[in-house]
Amino acid sequence: MAAPVSSSGTHSGTIARTRRAILDAAVMVLSRDRSAPMSEIAKAAEVGRSTLHRYFPDRSALVKGLYAQCAEIIERAVRDLDLDQSEVPDAFRRLVAALFEHGRLVDFLFNEPQHTDGAWDDDQWERAHVPMAMLFVRGQREGYFAAEFDADWFIRALWYMLSAGWEANAEGLPRHLALERVVRTLTGGVVAQPERPGPVHD
């Protein structure tokens, strides 16, 4: 027989769900209109304005909440990939695909004016990138990633190409094509690959 859920546990769960609903609604609303009022976010989250302000007193607090949620989501998504358990090419493609799934949230925050105001929790964001950096170092040792780059450049290029893919997808490029082009550009660049020589005929 399952143990009964305590009232405090139920309350904590309700708080977490309400907070997540508000943050999800904020991304949806603010992605369309960065000047949207808090009342519109409350309506989208199906909560009262007083409830919204209990969780996030103002827009600045709301955006900081989004940064914290973003870092948590990315850290968990990358950890769950177990990148060290796969061959580098496969692990890299799975990493790009997993990060692409969170485009709306990450791209919104990358273009948020508060992005440069210390809104990120740097320690949490750095932790999210550790498995990516370790994959890059392993790939360099195995000759998959170019030796002249470092992990910082790798992560920077990864996020910027993902941003380009999200933008193209938002403008109408089918998702699978946007993702394919991100992977192709990151793994082979935009220069045409040399063709293999055809058979030689006498």
Considering the domain architecture, whether residues 89 and 28 belong to the same structural domain is answered as no
**Number of domains present in the structure of the chain:** 2
Is residue 194 in a domain? no
| pLDDT score at 191 | 83
Considering the domain architecture, whether residues 28 and 84 belong to the same structural domain is answered as no
Among 97, 106, 100, 101, smallest CA distance to 31 is for 106
87 is written with which tokens?
């061959």
Is residue 4 in a domain? no
Considering the domain architecture, whether residues 153 and 72 belong to the same structural domain is answered as yes
Considering the domain architecture, whether residues 49 and 82 belong to the same structural domain is answered as no
Secondary structure of residue 124 in the 3-state scheme: helix
Q: Residue 182 in contact with residue 165, Cβ under 8 Å? A: yes
Query: 85 pLDDT exceeds 50?
Result: yes
Considering the domain architecture, whether residues 113 and 29 belong to the same structural domain is answered as no
Domain of residue 138, residue span: 64-188
Is residue 200 in a domain? no
| pLDDT score at 118 | 58
| pLDDT score at 128 | 85
pTM score, two decimals?
0.77
Considering the domain architecture, whether residues 137 and 102 belong to the same structural domain is answered as yes
Query: 3 pLDDT exceeds 60?
Result: no
Q: Residue 75 in contact with residue 60, Cβ under 8 Å? A: no
Reported as a single tens digit per residue, the pLDDT across 25-48 is 998 898 888 889 999 999 999 999
| pLDDT: which is higher, 195 or 129 | 129
* Residues in the chain, total: 202
Within 10 angstroms of residue 107's Cβ, the number of other Cβ atoms is: 21
Count of CA atoms in the C-beta half-sphere (13 A) of 58: 1
Q: How many Å apart are CA 101 and CA 124, to the nearest integer?
A: 20
- Residues of the chain with pLDDT > 70: what percent? 85
Considering the domain architecture, whether residues 36 and 73 belong to the same structural domain is answered as no
- Residues of the chain with pLDDT > 90: what percent? 54
